[in-house]
Amino acid sequence: MMFAPAPFLLKDSSVSRVMTRVCLALLPGIAAYVWQVGPAILTQLLIATCAALAAEALMLRIQGKPLGLFLSDGSAIVTAWLIALTFPPLAPWWLIVVGTVFAIVVAKHLYGGLGQNPFNPAMVAFATCIVSFPALMSQWPSVGLHLPFADQLAIIFGQAPRVDALSGATPLDAMKTALKMGEGSVDVASLLRNQDIYGNFAGRGWEWVALGYLVGGLWLWQQKLITWHLPTAFIGAITLISGALWLYNPAQFASPLFHLLSGGSMLGAFFIVTDPVSGCTTPRGKLIFGAGAGLLAYIIRVFGGYPDGIAFAVLLMNLCAPLIDFLTQPPIFGMKDKGGKA
């Protein structure tokens, strides 16, 4: 006799299926990225993927674990893609390899592998490389630069000189530097209106990349792979602090829309702070984690010395995640809470 599954049985969900959907959710942002800077980013994605799989295989071999089972789960590929998407698209190939291998070996496997790492591996790679190689991590393509794919490959693999005309500051870094050097004689509105690096709301062209990540992130939420808590808290925190300072002094502080569509805000909101391993797991903990990451990211990007603060903000909140989860655990079913109620 055949029996139908009971209503309370959950649908099977494997790590590989989840990671595949995360990669699919990144595709709208990647498509906009290719349209913005050309196919160089696809080369960086391939380099990072190969480096991640090679490092993963090496660590699995050393630990005596089955290669096929763990290499096919897709976690290393997701880490590789996040690294490639946060590094400059024309960065030398070895920089991508160094960051990826460091993320897999040090940030992931030295802590025990998948599910054991206390820090987000991709953000560890970014923070390590921007501290170690600040000049290379700051060389982003100049606005309107459309190099043939062959020339992009030549730059990535060191076959062409990296002249200053090929690179420039990010919109976030350019605005922060201009406002600091202007010392009150330059305002945000004039920068947005008169400099080619800016579009209608944020960096020219990069607005579409951010919207691509937003579309993919909303699809992840619709698929129930992430909850609303972390992205909402992260975006809400950036919106509140940037909006308050913008209303206080619109000449020296950009609007919330600028900050949400600049840098890695949307990528961070839906694909980085939502990491289930290094982040918080309780509902209230997720809200605190996301809000803290958004607040720190804004403070670092506006007042700090780095063009964007998401990596450092996430790593700092990773340190706090165990304590936040401990303090926000809901009462056990049938047990009394602190107020004495069952």
Residues 305 and 175 in one domain: yes
In a domain, 155, yes or no: yes
| 6-20, 61-75, 275-289, 296-310 — most confident range | 275-289
- Domain holding 310, by residue range, is 171-327
Indicate the pTM of the whole model. Answer: 0.89
3-state helix, strand, coil in the chain (%, to 5): 65, 0, 35
Alpha-carbon torsion 16, 17, 20, 21, what sign? Answer: negative
The last residue of one of the domains, among 142, 168, 194, is 168
Other beta carbons within 10 angstroms of residue 231's beta carbon come to: 25
Per-residue pLDDT of 211-266, as tens digits, reads 999 999 999 999 999 999 999 999 999 999 999 999 999 888 889 999 999 889 99
Residues 156 and 181 in one domain: no
In a domain, 337, yes or no: no
What pLDDT score does 161 carry? 64
Cα of 151 vs its chain's centroid, Å: 27
The last residue of one of the domains, among 126, 150, 168, is 168
For the residues 307-320, what does the mean pLDDT come to? Answer: 94
| 3-state secondary structure string across 32-90 | HHHHHHCCHHHHHHHHHHHHHHHHHHHHHHHHCCCHHHHHCCCHHHHHHHHHHHHCCCC
Partner residues linked to 311 by β-bridges? none
C-alpha dist (Å) from residue 98 to 41, 80, 83, 91: 17, 11, 11, 12
In a domain, 341, yes or no: no
Identify the CA nearest to 289 among candidates 239, 244, 236. Answer: 236
Domain count, the chain: 2
Other beta carbons within 10 angstroms of residue 104's beta carbon come to: 28
Residues 246 and 266 in one domain: yes
Residues 89 and 222 in one domain: no
Both tokens assigned to 98: 């160094």
In a domain, 336, yes or no: no
What pLDDT score does 289 carry? 98
For the residues 89-93, what does the mean pLDDT come to? Answer: 92
The last residue of one of the domains, among 141, 168, 195, is 168
Mean residue pLDDT of the chain comes to: 87
Does residue 339 have a pLDDT over 60?
no
What pLDDT score does 8 carry? 47
* 8 A C-beta contact, residue 126 and residue 179: no
According to DSSP, residue 309 is labeled -
Per-residue pLDDT of 114-140, as tens digits, reads 889 999 999 999 999 999 999 889 888
Share of the chain above pLDDT 70, in %: 88
Confidence grade of residue 306 (pLDDT, cut at 50, 70, 90):
confident
Residues 157 and 177 in one domain: no
Helix (H, G, I), strand (E, B) or coil at 40: helix
Residues 73 and 196 in one domain: no
What pLDDT score does 205 carry? 80
Per-residue pLDDT of 29-55, as tens digits, reads 999 999 988 899 999 999 999 999 999
What pLDDT score does 173 carry? 76
What pLDDT score does 235 carry? 97
In a domain, 110, yes or no: yes
Identify the CA nearest to 18 among candidates 280, 290, 275, 278. Answer: 275
Residues 143 and 162 in one domain: yes
Helix (H) or strand (E) holding 141: strand 140-141
Helix (H, G, I), strand (E, B) or coil at 273: coil
Residues 179 and 234 in one domain: yes
Per-residue pLDDT of 134-185, as tens digits, reads 988 988 876 566 788 888 899 899 887 655 556 666 777 777 777 777 655 6
Residues 154 and 207 in one domain: no
Among all chains, which residue has been given the structure tokens 């870094």? 173
In a domain, 338, yes or no: no
